[in-house]
Structure 1
């Protein structure tokens, strides 16, 4: 009996020791989590303060600090990129693309802080996004978005003239009234975009996917659309004058009222059923 009691006592002590060890580990983990969250908060505060600086180099530092924070703390990724998008909306304005910093002499590249922000957006881990990016009304001409993800992005009245969007993913993006004149969109995915009255004049859309794109009233004058997929696209009242359509697929497209003056195409170009195009230029 005494041996049994001793055994039970030893077992109880062992259980108690395990319980106290577990509690200590939990307390340590809680302290670590609190310290980590405090450090994250401090980094976030520092980055946002840097974004508000009147010095270009400090703003750029803030952008890259936010990028690192999003990588280190995936749960903060959505907030980080909401802040970067807000930074672009406040720092740039589509209506002022030709003003100081965006004038003809300076428009061979975006301002350095804007360039940094667009590159960070382009290479972000888009699968961690919570909502589509809102870059409406911003001046992002010459922006570098090659291979980037802008799926569902709100780009209403955004100036992306001459931007590099090569192979970018713009599926279901809203580009209503956006200026994408002379932009590089080679191999880009613009399927199901909504782009009424968007300017895509002189844009290079070679091999781009515009399947089911809604581009009523859009300006595609002199656009390069060779081998582009425009199947089932809505192009009513669109300006396609001078567009290059060699190898393009327009089966099922709505070309009601579209201006096809001077278009160039070849025997690989596919047209909607019952549609007779004007002679190729």
Structure 2
């Protein structure tokens, strides 16, 4: 009899613990249900013919990413598909000057570029073959993104993180990528005519066959970059670091190499304006 109060207390504690656990589970299930409902409504809104409704869907998905990290990979895939489907590469278009991206494409690209990439898991921002002309992004975080064959002419993406991104055969003429991180990026066959890349990090980037004529690469870091067959005619490479770069068959005619570091660079069949360019002083 004397032990009964103690047993009752233990039973009460166990009952309370079970009840609290069940309550937490119910709350968690309710939250998941709410998020699922919000997600379904947001995706439905993306298919609306009304711009304001589509924008609401895009920003609703952004909020869900912030509230539920586990749903971020799915939302990254959905918004990437939205951009690809609603802004396909405009084959045959010859100019990006004066072009303005549609409001919803600008919004979707901004949401993807400003997200916290940590919860992405295996998700990849896949915007290949998309029309991203003149899209403006502030400090975009698009490392490992797939931008192959996309039209990025006159895009303004300064201070971008594009490390290990796939940008092969993309058109970036006139784009602003100054102060960006492009280390180990795949830029094979990309068109970078007149692209602003000052002070950008292109270490170990693959620029095989890229068109870089008139590109602005002053103070850029191209250490060990592969520039095999690259067109660098008239490019500004002043004070650029080309140490260990592969310049085989590259054309640097009329390029500005003042102060450039060519230590250890492979200059097999590289074209220079004058013979003196072959013996540019290497900075200490």
2:43 pairs, out of 39, 44, 48, with 48
- In structure 1, the residue matched to 2:162 is 170
**Equivalent residue of 2:90, what SS?**
helix
Give the superposition deviation at 1:180.
1.1
Could you report, residue by residue, the CA deviation over 1:256-280 in whole angstroms, capped at 9, with x for unpaired residues?
A: 11111221231x2111437584347
- In structure 2, the residue matched to 1:133 is 125
- In structure 2, the residue matched to 1:17 is 12
TM-score normalised over the length of structure 1? 0.91
CA distance in 2: counterparts of 1:104 and 1:140, whole angstroms: 10
Could you report, residue by residue, the CA deviation over 1:183-212 in whole angstroms, capped at 9, with x for unpaired residues?
A: 111010111111110111110000000001
Structural mapping, 1:172-211, within 5 Å = 172-211=164-203
Could you report, residue by residue, the CA deviation over 1:63-109 in whole angstroms, capped at 9, with x for unpaired residues?
A: 1000011001111111111111111111111135849xxx86861x2
Aligned 8 A contact 1:171 1:193 in 2:
yes
- In structure 2, the residue matched to 1:118 is 109
Aligned 8 A contact 2:160 2:181 in 1:
yes
Aligned 8 A contact 1:122 1:144 in 2:
no
Could you report, residue by residue, the CA deviation over 1:124-169 in whole angstroms, capped at 9, with x for unpaired residues?
A: 0111112321111111111223311111111111111111111111
Gaps of at least 5 residues in structure 1 are none
Aligned CA RMSD, in angstroms, stands at: 1.9
Count of residues in Structure 1 that have an aligned counterpart in Structure 2: 270
Structural mapping, 1:1-281, within 5 Å = 5-6=1-2, 8-96=3-91, 98=93, 107=99, 109-130=100-121, 131-266=123-258, 268-273=259-264, 275=267, 277-279=272-274
Structure 2 CA distance for partners of 1:57 and 1:40, relative to 1, 3 Å? same
Structure 2 CA distance for partners of 1:149 and 1:104, relative to 1, 3 Å? closer
TM-score normalised over the length of structure 2? 0.90
Aligned 8 A contact 1:48 1:62 in 2:
yes
Gaps of at least 5 residues in structure 2 are 278-284
